[in-house]
Amino acid sequence: MLEIQNLSKSYGKNLAVDQVNFTVPDGMVGILLGPNGAGKSTIIKSIAGLLRYKGGIGIQGMSSKTLEAKKLFAYVPEIPAMFEALTVKEHIEFVRKAYQSTITDAELQALLKRFEMEDKQDKLGNELSKGMMQKVSILCALAIKPKVILLDEPMVGLDPKAIKELKEVVVELRDQGTTILISTHMLEMVEGIWDVMFVMEKGKIIGSYTKEQVGDKDLDELFFEMTGGERS
Ligand code: ADP
Ligand code: MG
């Protein structure tokens, strides 16, 4: 479970996130939806412990700042960061060892295959395309076998096959009880895989929905109504 309480973050005079509250229960996919600049990445970076912020963040009932909590979550940043001198395989091994992950070789091989990275395992970090870096970043996060996973605009830069696999992996993780938070500015990217959605604008959550509440209603229309038709 992921709990965000009264989260605020300013960059200088710019209030990027303003008193945000939300919860994503175990085994659910939560979506942060909003245009560029809404504050999505700032929230995710705060959860990941990369920013100073005001408010509280709980992971499985523990403060996100504790080592115990940090062991349980994985973070896929908006812009992948690679170690230039490590191969794809070494990136994954590094994370696997650091987190003392229980993932098996067979499970890892299956993941590499799904994301079409089997034959890229010996490539160095700086020999990869942006999309491949994104895939390594996703594979490293999955290799931890996290209880909570944060994905910041994860579909951007991925090819259609990888987008399809990622969506399937998200649904599988959810069914295993993992808590998932995905940010996106494109609703169609998360269609059919979300359980709770938080619509953001200018640092605030302007609407929260569960899948049941929305039912057959057209989310695109709801989104347009809320944001006055402005979308990026
Ligand atoms: P989103 O991920 O929804 O596109 P961000 O969280 O990246 O939004 O940005 C929210 C606001 O904070 C924007 O106004 C952005 O310009 C500002 N911002 C983000 N990161 C920084 C930073 N490192 N320094 C200063 N301002 C920032
Ligand atoms: Mg962002």
Token pair 């402005």: residue: 230
pLDDT at 228: 65
**Centroid of ligand 2 to alpha carbon of 15 (angstroms):** 15
Nearest CA, atom 26, ligand 1? 11
pLDDT at 213: 83
**Centroid of ligand 2 to alpha carbon of 37 (angstroms):** 7
Residue 122 gets which letter from DSSP? T
**Centroid of ligand 2 to alpha carbon of 185 (angstroms):** 8
pLDDT at 229: 58
Residue 26 gets which letter from DSSP? T
Nearest CA, atom 14, ligand 1? 37
What the block records as the tokens of 133 is 């870096």
Q: pLDDT digit string (tens) for 173-201? A: 999 999 999 999 988 889 889 999 999 99
Average pLDDT rounded to a whole number, residues 10-27: 97
pLDDT at 214: 80
Q: pLDDT digit string (tens) for 98-128? A: 999 999 999 999 999 999 999 999 999 989 9
Nearest CA, atom 22, ligand 1? 11
Average pLDDT rounded to a whole number, residues 20-47: 97
pLDDT at 97: 95
Residues with CB under 5 Å of ion ligand 2 are 40-41, 78
Q: Which atom of ligand 1 is nearest to the CA of 32?
A: 3
- Are 41 and 194 within 8 A, CB to CB? no
Q: What is the mean pLDDT of the chain?
A: 93
**Centroid of ligand 2 to alpha carbon of 205 (angstroms):** 15
Give the percent of the chain with pLDDT over 90: 86
Q: Quick check: 93 pLDDT over 70?
A: yes
- Are 81 and 45 within 8 A, CB to CB? no
Nearest CA, atom 27, ligand 1? 11
Mapping DSSP onto H, E and C, the string for the chain reads CEEEEEEEEEECCEEEEEEEEEEECCCCEEEEECCCCCCHHHHHHHHHCCCCCEEEEEECCEECCCHHHHCCEEEECCCCCCCCCCEHHHHHHHHHHHCCCCCCHHHHHHHHHHCCCHHHCCCEHHHCCHHHHHHHHHHHHHHCCCCEEEEECCCCCCCHHHHHHHHHHHHHHHHCCCEEEEEECCHHHHCCCCCEEEEEECCEEEEEEEHHHHCCCCHHHHHHHHHCCCCC
Average pLDDT rounded to a whole number, residues 1-5: 97
**Centroid of ligand 2 to alpha carbon of 41 (angstroms):** 4
Q: Quick check: 231 pLDDT over 70?
A: no
Cβ of residue 91 lying under 6 Å from some atom of ligand 1 = no
pLDDT at 135: 97
Q: Quick check: 77 pLDDT over 70?
A: yes
**Centroid of ligand 1 to alpha carbon of 230 (angstroms):** 18
Cβ of residue 45 lying under 6 Å from some atom of ligand 1 = no
The pTM assigned to this predicted structure is 0.94
- 132 φ/ψ angles, rounded to the nearest 5 degrees: -65, -40
Q: Which atom of ligand 1 is nearest to the CA of 200?
A: 3
Cβ neighbourhood burial of 106 (10 Å; 0-12, 13-18, 19+): exposed
Judged by its nearest atom, the ligand closest to the C-alpha of residue 33 is 1
- Are 145 and 95 within 8 A, CB to CB? no
Q: pLDDT digit string (tens) for 150-169? A: 999 999 999 999 999 999 99
